[in-house]
Structure 1
């Protein structure tokens, strides 16, 4: 890419220790743990917010309890030409010189997401209001904003009064070399590895413990899996723990659902190879769903709600988009039409390859950064001495 990059981050879970490593000749990573005091205070605020995850939204207030991050960020920012803030949370702790460019790498319109998730308690509402203030400040002060989708670009511009001229569309991407469509023999082997008969359809949903994924899983169990006993469902990721904690029931209630919990990449690739249809019945959220890009790269036929396909304006003919109440009908239609399944999978793979492969996206981001640097250089020459 032509830049020397240093990433400074923090582990937002207890256990790991300080880590510093060179991931490539031009990419250095520094990650520091948060303190126990930080985690204890976050746990109390989480309780006040009705048990919702708030480790990100409390960072602007609690990161002073983990002072090593601030020291590291200040030291690395001191000699940088560009500071990129990924998510708004740490912005108050990253000092900026007047001649330094500031970019905001936006993954969502965070305020709208947090307003929905945290709106049921007073503590949550206060946190969401803080997100709006912080995100707005960062958007207005940034020289450039990276947005994942046109929808996010519109929302950030409208909410915070920023010009769309400084918002650059840099979509999420996928590693199309690591995630590839399965040949028939690979599918047979993958189903064997999972202990599933070849003739039994496998449907997959992937999700973290994020609130919109919990909503989707809560829909899948009774409204899809419960009505399709002849299909097997793999629900992959941390959403299992979220589902069990919030519903106070075992996630293994239906025999045709396997809840894997968090899996490594190798296991996830086996699941994708065994999969017949990927589903994404999301009803809320912002940004783009990374799982959709995984599904596309794997060449899977996909059924999604409009919310699940948000930000993928190019994906309209590469997947089935329908309301939640039509999922069972659409699944039955695809299972009875293998030719259409293959066509959808091929289109999905083509969309992933042509529009969401990381090398192309990195090139877009690089060009935007170079243009901003050239513009700043020209402005510096134009300023009077």
Structure 2
């Protein structure tokens, strides 16, 4: 979101309207990106699970709406949005995350909705795992969320997806074209570093660990893949970098050769020290920024096919793909044992992100989409104000 707002702000005047939870700093957003209107709330998706979240989930059980609707559709933000529209001319509203398009707007105002993920399908996948209570809750939640998401998609003038697969789901539900605006990378922020800075045997995973698919992937890797690797590479080391790991992962990190790192200000030093980046995801949606960051940093990647879904990558050319524990361990071993393969993957992957996944290129695609939606700039007025909701 930061990168896309920054690219749009190069051409137009942008006003950011956002929920802000404990610890969020709207002043920082305003310094980095421009005018920001923050609505303070007790909890957002950026904060770790809390009593406020659990209470909201409990109350949602007695509502026809999903728990995510309760979290994201806040009366105070609706009031701030109404006031913004009264006080200044707005040519287009861009919402982030599906449910935000359920905020009320004038019917003649163009609305772009960036879907990020098909959230109800993600909750459905998560609902297959965990405790009985978690499975029961998510079994109810994903069905409510599906109704909410489809309603939001249909309200928007245009939906954006990060992958072709997600765009097809949206198109099937709405009967309208969804535009693919992929995730991208800032090659200046994530510079390529020599492979010699990291040991080939050091495997790194980067991702928020309170996010279920990430935690699930780390559990799978430590319990199913790492034991196979130790038989072939005794000094293999696995490092998981990410905020708010659940207690069970902390317990697994006591095993030899496993290190669990919590929230870090910048993952780049960890990527620099990595010999290989692993993405052992078994569930999820959208596309993985973690793979693009590894490509940009010059690190070879082993991923499940689902982990690399939505990216224009080729197995054996840009990365290695493996799904079973045995295949994953074999792919990692190949990379550890072959400096030539590591260098080849790194070179091809860096060329791919440079050509297709730079934010400047993706941002221009978004600007072109805006122009088509509002039929070009209005005579005598080059401003396009966008009210952008982030969490």
1:362 aligns with 2:363: yes
Gaps of 5+ in 2: 1-9, 129-133, 380-391
Contact 1:21/1:30, CA 8 A, preserved across alignment: no
Go from structure 1 to structure 2 and tell me whether the alpha carbon gap of 1:63 and 1:302 turns closer, same or farther (over 3 Å shift).
closer
1:334-371 per-residue CA deviation (whole Å, 9 max, x = no partner) reads 11110110010111111111111110000000001011
Contact 1:17/1:32, CA 8 A, preserved across alignment: no
Counterpart in the other structure of 1:290? 289
Counterpart in the other structure of 1:299? 298
Counterpart in the other structure of 1:106? 115
- How is 1:342-353 mapped onto 2 (pairs within 5 angstroms)? 342-353=343-354
Using CA pairs below 8 Å that are at least 6 residues apart, which structure has the higher relative contact order? 2
Helix, strand or coil at the partner of 2:348: helix
Counterpart in the other structure of 2:211? 210
Contact 2:72/2:99, CA 8 A, preserved across alignment: no
Give RMSD over aligned pairs: 3.0
Residue number among 38, 45, 53 corresponding to 1:42 in the alignment? 53
1:241 aligns with 2:245: yes
Contact 2:17/2:37, CA 8 A, preserved across alignment: yes
Go from structure 1 to structure 2 and tell me whether the alpha carbon gap of 1:33 and 1:115 turns closer, same or farther (over 3 Å shift).
same
* Aligned-partner Cα distance in 2 for 1:125–1:375: 44
- How is 1:213-362 mapped onto 2 (pairs within 5 angstroms)? 213-227=214-228, 228=230, 229-238=234-243, 241-242=245-246, 244=247, 247=248, 250-265=251-266, 268-316=267-315, 317-325=317-325, 326-362=327-363
| Displacement of 1:376 | 10
- Tell me which moved more, 368-377 or 38-47: 38-47
Go from structure 1 to structure 2 and tell me whether the alpha carbon gap of 1:323 and 1:202 turns closer, same or farther (over 3 Å shift).
same
1:163 aligns with 2:167: no
| Displacement of 1:290 | 1.1
| Displacement of 1:95 | 2.7
* Aligned-partner Cα distance in 1 for 2:204–2:72: 37
1:95 aligns with 2:95: no
Helix, strand or coil at the partner of 2:281: coil
1:39-67 per-residue CA deviation (whole Å, 9 max, x = no partner) reads 655323547999xxxxx953423567x64
Go from structure 1 to structure 2 and tell me whether the alpha carbon gap of 1:328 and 1:248 turns closer, same or farther (over 3 Å shift).
closer
* Aligned-partner Cα distance in 2 for 1:211–1:366: 33
| Displacement of 1:310 | 0.3
Q: Structure 2 length normalisation: TM-score?
A: 0.80
Residue number among 1, 4, 7 corresponding to 2:13 in the alignment? 4
* Aligned-partner Cα distance in 2 for 1:274–1:214: 22
Helix, strand or coil at the partner of 1:233: strand
Go from structure 1 to structure 2 and tell me whether the alpha carbon gap of 1:23 and 1:365 turns closer, same or farther (over 3 Å shift).
farther
* Aligned-partner Cα distance in 1 for 2:348–2:108: 46
Residue number among 92, 104, 118 corresponding to 1:82 in the alignment? 92
| Displacement of 1:149 | 0.7
Contact 2:240/2:260, CA 8 A, preserved across alignment: yes
Contact 2:99/2:152, CA 8 A, preserved across alignment: no
Counterpart in the other structure of 1:71? 79
* Aligned-partner Cα distance in 2 for 1:255–1:116: 31
